[in-house]
Amino acid sequence: MTTEEIKAIAESLLFASGSPLSLRRMAEVIGVVQAEVKQAVARLREEYSLPGRGIFLAEVAGGYQFRTVPEHAEYVRTLIRDKPNRLSRAALETLAIIAYRQPITKAEIEAVRGVDVDGVLASLMTKKLVRVMGRKDVPGRPWVYGTTPQFLELFGLADLASLPPLPEIHEPTANLYDETAPGGAAAENPEPGGHRFAPGSRGDDPAGPSPGEWGNGHTPRDDSGPIP
The CATH number of whichever domain residue 130 belongs to comes to: 1.10.10.10
Regarding whether 57 and 115 lie in a shared domain, the answer is no
How many domains, the chain? 2
Regarding whether 104 and 74 lie in a shared domain, the answer is no
Regarding whether 223 and 113 lie in a shared domain, the answer is yes
Residue 170 binned pLDDT confidence (cut-offs 50, 70, 90): very low
Regarding whether 93 and 52 lie in a shared domain, the answer is no
Please say which residue of 53, 80, 107 terminates a domain. 80
**HEC readout, 123-157:** HHHHCCCEEEEEECCCCCCCEEEEECHHHHHHCCC
Regarding whether 150 and 48 lie in a shared domain, the answer is no
Q: What pLDDT does 62 receive?
A: 86
Please say which residue of 58, 80, 102 terminates a domain. 80
Return the closest-CA partner of residue 70 out of 81, 51, 56: 56
Please return the burial class of 113, using the count of CB atoms within 10 Å of its CB with bins 0-12, 13-18 and 19+: buried
Tens digits of residue pLDDT in 62-90: 899 999 898 888 888 888 775 556 788 88
> What integer is the mean pLDDT of 104-108?
92
Q: What pLDDT does 5 receive?
A: 92
> What integer is the mean pLDDT of 3-32?
91
Give me the domain span that covers residue 221: 84-228
Regarding whether 160 and 60 lie in a shared domain, the answer is no
Number of neighbours of residue 190 by Cβ within 10 angstroms: 14
Report the run of H or E that residue 220 belongs to, with start and end: none
Return the closest-CA partner of residue 193 out of 168, 227, 159, 165: 227
Tens digits of residue pLDDT in 126-139: 888 999 999 988 88
Please return the burial class of 63, using the count of CB atoms within 10 Å of its CB with bins 0-12, 13-18 and 19+: buried
> What integer is the mean pLDDT of 99-124?
90
Q: What pLDDT does 85 receive?
A: 64
Regarding whether 136 and 75 lie in a shared domain, the answer is no
Regarding whether 164 and 100 lie in a shared domain, the answer is yes
Return the closest-CA partner of residue 32 out of 59, 8, 6: 6
Using the predicted structure, report yes or no on whether residue 180 has a pLDDT greater than 50: no
Q: What pLDDT does 224 receive?
A: 41
